[in-house]
Structure formats: structure tokens, C-alpha cells
Structure 1
């Protein structure tokens, strides 16, 4: 049996990756020497170019965070308060919150059981006279059904945006995530495998959206510092860009560590009844940023929550991403007539099974083996 408190220090999901500290400090010192710390400095512009190159897009608009990015992208795409936007319920609350905060109405769709991404058939059922956009989410970095959602949007003459917060560096049908739909939004939050402390980016091939987004993130000011629109302070700082550039330089190494960790978890849990490791799409480049297991209580003989409790006893802070579904939290559950016109059985079932495990540079084979042992002991003792 595994001993109590196997880890003296907590093992977190989303522990930050740091990269080359000396290179980061060199960039910070350069910013200090220039006395240029904000307002679209040279590091932000360099980060912008690097992200656009990675995403294969004509435009990148760095922003303070992905939440702000979603809001700006939605407004740049022409959405107005009161417009309905179809979005999967199985996502971070940040996605619908960003929409609701600017007056949009999230209408939650169900997901596909195998991919955890938006079910295009359900999306089609939900499109009504007030629908003005679709927001797809690349859950756990696995791209959603981009082609199907894009076709639906085209048929109905509405934009489709993609919350690509978890899909930096991934591909869809061999093409980099970033250039699909009207725009995609990346997150470079500290918990992401590529981070800028806090930050995000809107990537797009639509010059109009990019131009409007640049103005909106800059208090509505154009390049001549004249107010031409209503905007907010959504700018990225030089310090954030310094970290982002340093992190991008280590992206391939981080991705390889994540891939190896994913394989170690898969091997360590192989053959355990009712427990499976969530897989990425075949023949696609995946960042493996999240290691997610699904616990089928009927087969495993133990509920996901009990597995999480067993891990917590040993200082392994696994997280039930995402639980509950967004349609079951405030402020949305109080208005099911507005936000959720149909049941979402696959979302609700999935929310009871998933558990995200620690990965990234903070863990290695020994830690993963111990985590797998805790999970196996929990299942055996159920």
C-alpha cells in the first residue's frame, strides 16, 4: 500500500514552466534600459510576430489576457449586447463569462462524448433568430470540429470564433491552430505550458478584425493617438512579452516533456478497469498540456471524486476540469430558459468523470509512477 502523504510538497496541475531564466532577465534588463515598459513596446511587437508565425496567421494582436481577448474579438467581429452566442457548456467558466460580461447571451450546447468538444449537430439545433455567432472551444488542446462549425456559421451568415486557450502549438488536419474562423484566441496564462505570466493573443487572417482589435485594446486610440472608438486597456506589457518570448523559445522542449509525461501516465494506468487517459487526435501535433483521466464509476467501482480525494491525501492536487458544466453554475443556472434550452446529458456525464493530473516540467517519471500507484490503490480499495 502507498504510504500517507507521499509528497511533502503539493503536486499541482498547471505548475508554471520557466525556460531560460538568464535570457528572460536579459530581456527585462533591456526593457528597463529603454525605459519602455508598456504601450506596444519592442518586446510586445516581437512577441506578436513570433506568435503569428507559429499560428500561421497574417495578424496577431497581443492582449493582457485571453478573457479580454475573447471580449475584444467578439466586439471586433460585430457582436452587440443581447446577441446570442452558442458555446459549449464543457469549458472554463471564463469562456461564457467573457461573453456575458460584454452583454452577449451564451447559449450552451452539448459535447461529443469521445472528444469533449462541441457537438455540431446540437449546435445546429440551437441556431435561432437571435443567434449571432458560434464559439468553439479546443478542449484540452484537442481541436473541435472546425470544418463543421465553420460550415454552419457560413450557412447562417454568422461569425465563428475559437477559444484556443489550451491549443497553442496544436494542429487541425495538419494546419496550425490559429488561422481558422473569424479569429482564434490564445492564452499565455502562467498555468499554460507556454506562458507570459499573464497574457493572451487574438490571431486572425481578417485584417478588419485585427485592425479593430488593435484599437479596442488600446483605449480606442489609433496609431496617431486619436480616439476613434470605444476601447479598454487590454494591452500586454513588456515584462509579459519578455516571459512569452522566453517561453516560446522553450516550447518544443516543454511539449516533448508533456508528451513523455502523457505516455508515462498512459503506461502506468494501462489495464486499470474503468480508468482511461484522454487521448489527443490521431496524426495531429498536440501540446499534451493537460493529462486528463476519465473515471467510469460503474466499471471502476469508484467515483471520480473519491479518486481525487485519495490523491489529495497524498498532496496531489488533481483538478476536476471541468466541473460542473457552465450551464449548472451561476449566473446561468438561474436562467435555463435563456442559456440552456435543451438538456446537456453528455456534458453532465463527462463532468462527473474527468480529472486533470499534474504534468509539465514540475513532474517526472518517479512522480508519475507514484500518482499512478495512488490511483490504482484507490481503485483496488473501493
Structure 2
């Protein structure tokens, strides 16, 4: 019986190496509250990602919430309907109102022209996503933010290690937020981070994630508990040793998919958006009219045969019950996002996906392409 293949699997370092780090945690007796592994991981990530300051979090969603809080965002936040729901939940959790605008039809990132057209006197922030790790149009979006004096917070959950024309994509905007969830290119089991520009920003964010404490006896803010544990941080340090190897394997799978799906009618492999370094975090394909099945039929066809792709992102965030009544959720104003949600299928990609499994996936797509022809 052939094993099922899922869209992703967590990348795990050698267990014996992790046991060594756990032993040191046991010896120290420090489990949390920004211990030595936490401090070491922050420094190591700043160096690896080439960013000035980073604050670790217990997950990416809390990091998004704190990023909004750190900049004092109150009002409307322009964002994308084509993302994981955590992007917009963070906005609503902070008592702000999401304003959805359409995405570019090629990059599937926020369209800068539509961002500017949506700005009103109530606009408090712009929250773009680097979808699939492909950089948003950072120059145009940053310029809009500066022009209108509106903060820009990038949801960079997919963009670990990604570089654009001017270096790390994480240095754009006022803040960038990372996810280190188990399924991400770099993971700490669960985790996240905020990349910030100044020591003062980092100090304030560090206070917010630690209940608002400023020293032992002073609380200056209504903070939250967003700290990363020592165990997660130790795992992250170990992951960092192997992340380039993991990205290299992802790149090899990406290259093979592109070569073996080239010319298959109705299947379009999404291209990058000009980044100088990719992380190959996802492999989305677009199913067009020339394919004999629609995207959903292909999704079920593959699942029935033991391969489990994902419809990232379906349905649109704007379709969920807590958002669908917003004026900006009207599908008529989001044609590119609607089309993407109906046509995109993400194929399995992760470092441990072996060549035989890639062969099986590609053969299944070619087989599906013969149905009804």
C-alpha cells in the first residue's frame, strides 16, 4: 500500500543534537523569560536574516497582534483577502476594521494602486502579505505609506530568508512579522518574531510581550504573554544549522516540478516576483480552462489517490462569517483574489519529500490531464 503524501511535513533536525541542548536546559533550570538560548537565537537570526533587531514570540499570530499594538493602530487597516485567516484576525482582535483590496493577478500580493485608492481619513495602517514568500511591491507600498503618513506592517510569515533587490525583504515597512510554525521553512515547533528597525522599538515590543513589565516592579503597558520558551529557542538554534540545506532541497523539488509540468495544458506554475533569494516555501499551480478538470475536481482526484495538495487560500478571508458583511468583502471588488481562490492548488513540497514521491505527484497530474480528452 502506497503511503499518503501531504502538502507539507515539518523539517526536523537530528534528535540526538536536540537532546544535547535539552540537557543544558535541564542543567540550567531556565525554561522561559528570555533565557540564554532565547538571547542567542535572537542574535543568530539577526545575523542570518541581515536585520537590525528581532523580538521572538510564542507564535506568529500574537506577534501580529503586538505589532499592531506597538504602533498604536486604531481604525481601518488595508489588507489582503488572499491569505491565511490569522492575518485579518489580528486586525479584528485589536478592535480595528479590515479593509480588503484586490491583489495583483500575477504576484497575488496587494496591488499598490488599489491600496492608494482605498485610503481614507480613517486608514490607520497597511498590512500586506508576502504571499508564498514572493515579495510584495515593497518600494511602491512603502512609498504610499510615507506619502500618506500611514504605518506599513508586513506579514512575512512565508518570507523567512527571502531577499529582494535591496537585500532582506524583512527590512521594509515599519515592522515585519515572521511565523515559525511547524510547517514553515524555519520552525521552532511554534513561534514567531517581529523584525524592527531601532533599539527603542525592540525594547517597547519586548515589554509588550512580557505583560508590559519595565523591570521587576513596574508595569507600563497592558501587555500580553508572548514570550518564546527556551525549548523552542533551542530547537530554533538547531534548525538554523540546517535551514540552508532544507531550502536547497526545496529548490531542487521546485525545479523538478517546473521542468516536468512545463507545457502541460491548463497548468501554470507561479513565477517569483524578482527576489534575489527564494525560500521555496510553497509550490502553487494555477489550474486554467485548458485543463480537463477544474481546480476542485483535481484536488479531490488527487486526494482520492493518496496525494493531499491544499487550496491555499480558499475560501477568501472575506468570505468568512465575521468579515463577509464588510463593504470591502464584496467579491465584485476583488476579482483577482476570487479567481486565485478558485484556481490555485499548492502541491506538496518539503525537504523530506523524496524523488519517488515527486515522480508520483507529477505522473498523477499528467494522468489527470488525460481525463475527458
Partner of 1:56: 50
TM-score by length of 1: 0.94
**Pairing of 1:12-91 with structure 2 (within 5 A):** 12-80=6-74, 83-91=75-83
Which of 325, 329, 337 is equivalent to 2:327? 337
Displacement over 6 Å in runs of 4+: none
Moved more, 163-172 or 321-330: 321-330
2:280 to 288, 301, 319: 288
- The 3-state SS of whatever aligns with 1:62 is strand
Corresponding residue of 2:309:
318
Report the CA distance between 1:217 and its aligned residue: 0.4
C-alpha contact (below 8 Å) 1:55/1:203 kept by paired residues: no
Choose from 300, 314, 320 the match for 2:291: 300
Structure 1 residue 42, shift from structure 2 partner: 0.6
Residue 158 of structure 1 is matched in structure 2 by: 150
Among 115, 124, 143, the residue aligned to 1:123: 115
Q: CA deviation at 1:360?
A: 1.1
Specify the SS of the correspondent of 2:170.
coil
Query: What's 1:149 paired with?
Result: 141
Asked if residue 364 in structure 1 is aligned to residue 336 in structure 2, the reply is no
Q: 1:342 Cα deviation (Å)? A: 6.4
Report the counterpart of residue 230 of structure 1 in structure 2.
Answer: 222
Please give the alpha-carbon distance, in whole angstroms, between the structure 2 residues aligned to 1:315 and 1:362: 17
Say whether residues 1:277 and 2:256 are aligned partners: no
Compute the TM-score of the two structures, normalised by the length of structure 2: 0.96
Answer yes or no: is the 8 Å Cα contact 2:128–2:136 preserved in 1.
yes
Quote the offset at 1:338 in angstroms: 6.1
Q: Which moved more, 1:200-209 or 1:229-238?
A: 200-209
Displacement of 1:22 in angstroms is 2.2
CA–CA separation in structure 2 for the residues paired with 1:223 and 1:277: 52
CA distance in 2, matches of 1:54, 1:157: 31
Residues 350/339 of structure 1: CA separation in 2 closer, same or farther (3 Å cut): closer
Q: Which residue of 2 aligns with 1:376?
A: 366
DSSP-derived class of the 2:113 partner: helix
Residue in 2 that maps onto 1:4: none
Question: Secondary structure of 1:178's partner?
Answer: helix
Q: 1:252 aligns with which of 241, 244, 249?
A: 244
Q: Whole-Å Cα distance in 2 between the matches of residues 191 and 287 of structure 1?
A: 13
1:168/1:287 contact within 8 Å kept: yes
C-alpha contact 2:163 2:275 (8 A) present in aligned 1 = no
Structure 1: gaps (5+ residues): 1-6
Report the CA distance between 1:259 and its aligned residue. 0.2
Contact 1:196-1:241 at 8 Å conserved across structures? yes
Tell me the distance in 1 between the aligned counterparts of 2:365 and 2:332.
35
CA distance in 2, matches of 1:70, 1:204: 12
Is residue 184 from structure 1 mapped to residue 176 from structure 2 by the alignment?
yes
Q: What SS does the aligned partner of 1:272 have?
A: coil
Confirm whether residue 100 of structure 1 aligns to residue 82 of structure 2.
no
Post-superposition shift, 1:361?
2.0
Which digits, 9 at most, give the CA deviation of each residue in 1:152-173, with x for residues without a partner? 1111111001000000010111
Question: Aligned residue pairs: how many?
Answer: 372
Deviation at 1:308, TM superposition (A): 0.8
Instruction: For 2:321 and 2:366, locate their aligned partners in 1 and report how far apart those are by CA, in whole Å.
Output: 35
| Deviations 1:58-86, CA, capped at 9 Å, x for gaps | 21100010100010011101213xx1000
State the Cα distance separating 1:341 from its structure 2 match. Answer: 9.4
1:268, 1:369 within 8 Å by CA — same for their partners in 2?
no
Distance in 1 (CA, whole Å) between partners of 2:65 and 2:148 is 22
